[in-house]
Amino acid sequence: MAAERVEDLRIFVSAAAAGSFSAAARELGLTPAVASAAVKRLEDTLGVRLFVRSTRSLRLTAEGERYRDHAHAALAALEAGRGSVQRDRHSIAGTLSLSMPSDLGRHMLLPWLDAFQREHPRIRLQVRISDRLTDLHRQGVDIAIRYGEPEDSSMIALPLAPDNRRVLCAAPDYFARCGMPRTPEDLRQHNCLTFMLSDAPHDRWRFERDGQMSEIAVSGDRAADDGDVVRRWALAGDGLAYKSYFDVADDLRAGRLVAALPDYQGERSPVYLLCVERSRLSPAVRRLRDFLAARFAATA
């Protein structure tokens, strides 16, 4: 129902109670002409007369009396809905401490968290951005947002983007200088920018085509334990990066990076929200999970 229709209902209900367009108009801060026009518009929409008008009185028709009850119910339902939403908005409160990866956190999650706080102004955030694995038990972090399924089977893992994959990409300038790889095996001839996790380089890149997996050992002149550094090197044209799609989605859309090997799928890199126990799944955490999952789905 459009906003003006709701206002027409309010005017109709007020006029029915007051027995006068003038009285209803005064109560609602309108002119009698506006009140009369609103009721006429409602009658035209319904195809019935709601009032019997005379120079001295205004009374409901039989149809008007029946419709008045429904109008009361509709306005009461709208008011109840508004109150429920407002109470829910203010019931999401407290401090959320969360950890997130470097690249995903800086370039995608932080703006989303800003929007989440605007919707829930009583939420306070404590954010840790690092690609090093966070010990949720020891560091007092409520939740972590991470790529990949947790190795600890006791961890609660809620999917945010379960179908996410890695994408091989580089700057247009790099491809202009070094050529575009056509198969994973071609990567042996390219400068591959590798990411290190717990000092172990991620230098075996996997690709899928027609249900068959291939794994290629890559090498290059740069490695970093910060995903954002790898992305910056790729943007500068220093080599090929094998990144989560969400880390480079904006760069790909803007043409700052170009995807390679379009006939191959990169390995899965699902995004999860992690917590140590179900008692940490507060209303705020659940609402954040739903909010982020919707944003990831819209970006995929």
Tokens of 264: 């191959």
> Bigger pLDDT: 85 or 126?
126
Report the pLDDT value the prediction gives residue 276, as an integer from 0 to 100. Answer: 81
Report the pLDDT value the prediction gives residue 294, as an integer from 0 to 100. Answer: 95
Tens-digit pLDDT profile for residues 43-79: 888 889 988 888 777 888 989 888 988 888 888 888 7
Q: According to the CATH classification, is domain 166-266 in 3.40.190.10?
A: yes
| CATH topology match: 6-85 vs 94-163+271-298 | no
Could you tell me whether strands 166-170 and 240-244 are parallel, antiparallel, or unpaired per DSSP bridges? antiparallel
Superfamily of domain 94-163+271-298: Periplasmic binding protein-like II (3.40.190.10)
Residue 24: band (very low, low, confident or very high) from pLDDT cuts 50, 70, 90: confident
Report the pLDDT value the prediction gives residue 1, as an integer from 0 to 100. Answer: 42
Domain boundaries, the chain: 6-85, 94-163+271-298, 166-266
d(CA 43, CA 23): 19
Average pLDDT, the chain: 88
What proportion of the chain, given as a percentage, has pLDDT over 90? 50
d(CA 37, CA 34): 5
Tell me the CATH number of domain 6-85, given options 1.10.10.10, 3.40.1010.10, 2.20.25.90, 3.40.1800.10. 1.10.10.10
Report the pLDDT value the prediction gives residue 85, as an integer from 0 to 100. Answer: 55
> Bigger pLDDT: 280 or 272?
272
Q: Does the pTM of the predicted model rise above 0.75?
A: no
